[in-house]
Structure 1
Amino acid sequence: MNVLLLGSGGREHALAWKIAASPLLTKLYASPGNPGIGGVAELVKLDMSDHSTVAAFCQEKNIDLVVVGPEGPLVAGIADDLRPWGIRVFGPSKAAARLEGSKGFTKDLCAKFNIPTAAYGRFGDLASAKAYVEKTGAPIVIKADGLAAGKGVTIAMTLEEALAALEACFEGAFGAAGAEVVVEEYLTGEEASFFCLCDGATALPFGTAQDHKRVGDGDTGPNTGGMGAYSPAPVMTAEMTERTMREIIEPTMRGMANLGAPFAGILFAGLMITDQGPKLIEYNTRFGDPECQVLMMRLKDDLLVLLNAAVDGQLAHMSVRWSDEAALTVVMAARGYPGTPEKGSVIRGLDEAASEGAEIFHAGTAINGGALVANGGRVLNVTATGATVGEAQKKAYAAIDHIDWPQGFFRHDIGWRAVERERIGA
């Protein structure tokens, strides 16, 4: 098979790494890719926003499958625009991608189909949103309705913080994404990421993970796109997985079909495990980043076989096998992130880091003058496996010790919750 992978981050490097291992693969192309992806794929320059150009490339190269990594092209309808050309696409339609493209759409879906989630309000103007927040009080959660690169959510512990977040949204901090806001009840519990491969009719559980959104150790500082992750998530027991499927995933699949937008692709449920059970925080319609990295490390099956089954409506006949080992990834970010990152600094020592048994997935790198340099906010994902999360954690940080990049930083406590569980034997 000839495969085209769209995207350039750590998630896409992990997908490329796994797809490249498939006996089904003839040729893997990636656009725009990154230097890490270039090790397993031929990099091509395509304008992802120009769907006809992507389609023409697919016809020229006899592409059998397009795998869309990031959410932007999916929400923009790339799957809809490629399919009339006879091109098979792994990813949801534009209508189905609204589950990520509009938080308000998802909240309304939850209300209509009795899917457990936080109480909420939707607002298109500052005055009514402020009135709702002042009436409800803090803590409270403020979300830009549209895509904001993982940064459009404020968990406001005070009324002042909530009002400032509302003003930022309506004053254009997130562009069009913040033209409408969702204000949510503050939930308490433990967060988890739950994934399903979907083909429009069947949802096949596809692993669990936990990530670390805050930039600093001890879960401090502003939210980011994710500073690290581990899999599996201990809180997602067999019972909790069954409840999540029955109470959240299956009603969502039925609801989307009922709305004329059956969901096919990867459905990523961000969950809060509360005293009452699982509640949906939000949906993403693509693999998580950095959760994808730890899932790919643990997946024993051929990813390309599974993606084909999802595209062809054959998931009812499939199962997924996982390694018993845990996987953990630590994000190395450029100084300044999650604000404006410093680009261009040289990174050395990746070969030495890999000698510790880690996989180094490139997230925001480039080649400049023959040297590997930082070219984004989140730059590297140092990923390792072990018999326990604690063992995987030790291997990942041992690998980081070999990386010579003074302008980079990382959290030192990725996996702390699971490691503590292991320590006390919970």
Structure 2
Amino acid sequence: MKIAVIGKGGREHALVKALKESPSAPEMYCFPGSDAINRLATPIPARDLPSLIDWMVSNKMDLCVAGEESYLVKDEGLANACSRAGIPCWGPVKESAQLEASKEFAKDFLLRHRIPTGQARVAATLEEARQFIGNNYPTVLKFDGLAAGKGVAVCMSKEEADSFLKEVFTDRRFGEGRLLVEEFLTGPEVSIFGALVDDHYLILCPARDYKRLKEGDAGPNTGGMGAVASRRLVEPEMMERIEKEIVAPTVAGLKKDGLPYRGFLYFGLMLTPNGPKVIEYNCRFGDPECQAVMPLLSGDLASFCLHGAKGEFAPEEISFQNGWSVCCVLASKGYPETSHSGDAIQGLDDISNASVYHAGTKWNADKNCYETNGGRVLAVVAQGDTLSEARQRAHNEIKKIQFHGMQRRPDIGFASFV
């Protein structure tokens, strides 16, 4: 079996490793990949989506796995192009991927199918946004399009809202697009992952991520500074409610709307006093949640994804261990406002009790070491029978790694847990 994974970050590093270790022992390929991913998978010499499709056809790929969200909606869409070329793709077509690509599309879908979510209004201009916000703080502001995990702001004050509005409407940091002014919800957050094959679904191991930069949920939002995953993360009664009120209606809504879906679907939820509500959908695995979840997976992920991409639902092929997994992200100097490159990373060879996934690194052959090459640099992930064991191992191992300006949260696995 030949599998091509599309993406270049820590999530894709974790997916490539999990797929490669499947009992079916697939040959792994990647695009655009990274220096670390290229040690596990052969890089594909493509320039863009058309040349990627041509290469996969010429080299007889059996399966394409979508990692990054941007490829799902870029040009004609990765899954659409694969379908046209006769390549099974684990990832939704462009029309269905609008659940992530457009916050407005997702909100309309949720309300239309009566799936619990916060109320929202859509602002096309700065003036409209200010009018909709009024003096209602806290408020949640969401840029309508893709923004690499940085297009959402929870604003506790007018000053915070004005700062984000400037980014959206004046600086156009995320490009052209409208803004959702959304109801502020309270309660613990949880990430639920579904593997969807048409109108069938399997709920995977849940996770909880940490979006803010600093300890105690202080500082700016990031793409994610860490995550905790476990089948024991959510009580069984709550999981039953999530499946009944959110997952099953979503799958039914996709079918009713004529939106085919084969791939991972991320449900970002808030467990409010009034029950679980959807904050957002992502049409792929979360990052860094993927890095936390993959080490808990057992079975043949490669075979499961291949069957799913062909429309064959085979939930018996994978399962998840009952322990805990803690993922700690190391970020470069200046992140998230900027990122830093070229700083030598020390201590990677000393990691002995955890997995390391590369997100923003490059290999310096002259110095025989990895260097920083982006905002989120590495994820160190450890497991244990208990949460205490997993987080102790993760934090102990992470202390072995050093690079100039390194940022991390010492409360990953502690905050949000008793």
TM-score normalised over the length of structure 1: 0.94
Superposed, which structure 2 residues align to 1:358-397 within 5 Å? 358-368=354-364, 369=366, 370-397=368-395
Superposed, which structure 2 residues align to 1:143-154 within 5 Å? 143-154=142-153
Structure 2 unpaired stretches of 5+ = none
Identity of aligned residues (%): 39
Q: Distance in 2 between matches of 1:317 and 1:389?
A: 27
Q: SS at 1:132's partner residue?
A: helix
* Structure 2 contact 304–315 (Cα < 8 Å) conserved: no
The aligned counterpart of 2:122 is: 122
Letter in 2 for 1:129: A
Greater Cα shift, 224-233 or 266-275: 224-233
Letter in 1 for 2:15: L
Q: SS at 1:315's partner residue?
A: coil
* Structure 2 contact 231–322 (Cα < 8 Å) conserved: no
Deviation, 1:400, is 1.5
Superposed, which structure 2 residues align to 1:180-191 within 5 Å? 180-191=178-189
Deviation, 1:303, is 0.9
Q: SS at 1:383's partner residue?
A: strand
Superposed, which structure 2 residues align to 1:301-316 within 5 Å? 301-315=299-313
Q: SS at 1:345's partner residue?
A: strand
* Structure 1 contact 172–179 (Cα < 8 Å) conserved: no
The aligned counterpart of 1:241 is: 239
Size of the aligned set, in residue pairs, is 414
Letter in 2 for 1:360: V
Q: SS at 1:175's partner residue?
A: coil
Deviation, 1:317, is 5.5
Q: Distance in 2 between matches of 1:404 and 1:159?
A: 38
Q: SS at 2:394's partner residue?
A: helix
* Structure 2 contact 303–317 (Cα < 8 Å) conserved: no
The aligned counterpart of 1:163 is: 162
Letter in 2 for 1:123: A
Deviation, 1:417, is 3.5
Q: Distance in 2 between matches of 1:180 and 1:79?
A: 26
Superposed, which structure 2 residues align to 1:80-159 within 5 Å? 80-134=80-134, 137-159=136-158
The aligned counterpart of 1:351 is: 349
Q: Structure 1 residues 162, 257: CA separation in 2 closer, same or farther (over 3 Å shift)?
A: same
The aligned counterpart of 1:227 is: 225
Q: SS at 2:267's partner residue?
A: strand
Q: Distance in 2 between matches of 1:26 and 1:252?
A: 32
TM-score normalised over the length of structure 2: 0.95
Letter in 2 for 1:366: K
* Structure 1 contact 92–285 (Cα < 8 Å) conserved: yes
What are the Cα deviations for residues 221-273 of structure 1, in whole angstroms up to 9, with x where unaligned? Answer: 00000000011275521111111111112211121222221222111000000
Greater Cα shift, 93-102 or 366-375: 366-375
* Structure 2 contact 17–40 (Cα < 8 Å) conserved: yes
* Structure 1 contact 10–363 (Cα < 8 Å) conserved: yes
Q: Distance in 2 between matches of 1:39 and 1:385?
A: 24
Q: Distance in 2 between matches of 1:3 and 1:319?
A: 17
Deviation, 1:25, is 3.1
Structure 1 unpaired stretches of 5+ = 422-426
Greater Cα shift, 232-241 or 369-378: 232-241
The aligned counterpart of 1:424 is: none
Q: Does 1:71 align with 2:69?
A: yes
Letter in 1 for 2:132: Y
Runs (4+) of structure 1 exceeding 4 A deviation are none
What's the RMSD between the two structures over aligned residues?
1.6
Letter in 2 for 1:2: K
What are the Cα deviations for residues 139-195 of structure 1, in whole angstroms up to 9, with x where unaligned? Answer: 10011000011111110111332233223211243333x520011000000000000
* Structure 2 contact 360–376 (Cα < 8 Å) conserved: yes
The aligned counterpart of 1:37 is: 37
Q: Distance in 2 between matches of 1:288 and 1:279?
A: 18
What are the Cα deviations for residues 261-299 of structure 1, in whole angstroms up to 9, with x where unaligned? Answer: 122211100000011110000000011011001110101
Q: SS at 1:416's partner residue?
A: coil
* Structure 1 contact 142–182 (Cα < 8 Å) conserved: yes
Q: Distance in 1 between matches of 2:44 and 2:348?
A: 24
Q: Distance in 2 between matches of 1:233 and 1:415?
A: 15
Letter in 1 for 2:301: L
Deviation, 1:358, is 0.6
Q: Distance in 2 between matches of 1:316 and 1:278?
A: 28
Q: Distance in 2 between matches of 1:332 and 1:367?
A: 17
* Structure 2 contact 123–179 (Cα < 8 Å) conserved: yes
Superposed, which structure 2 residues align to 1:175-324 within 5 Å? 175-176=174-175, 179-232=177-230, 234=232, 236-315=234-313, 318=316, 320-324=318-322
Q: SS at 2:319's partner residue?
A: coil
Q: Structure 1 residues 172, 150: CA separation in 2 closer, same or farther (over 3 Å shift)?
A: same
Letter in 2 for 1:274: T
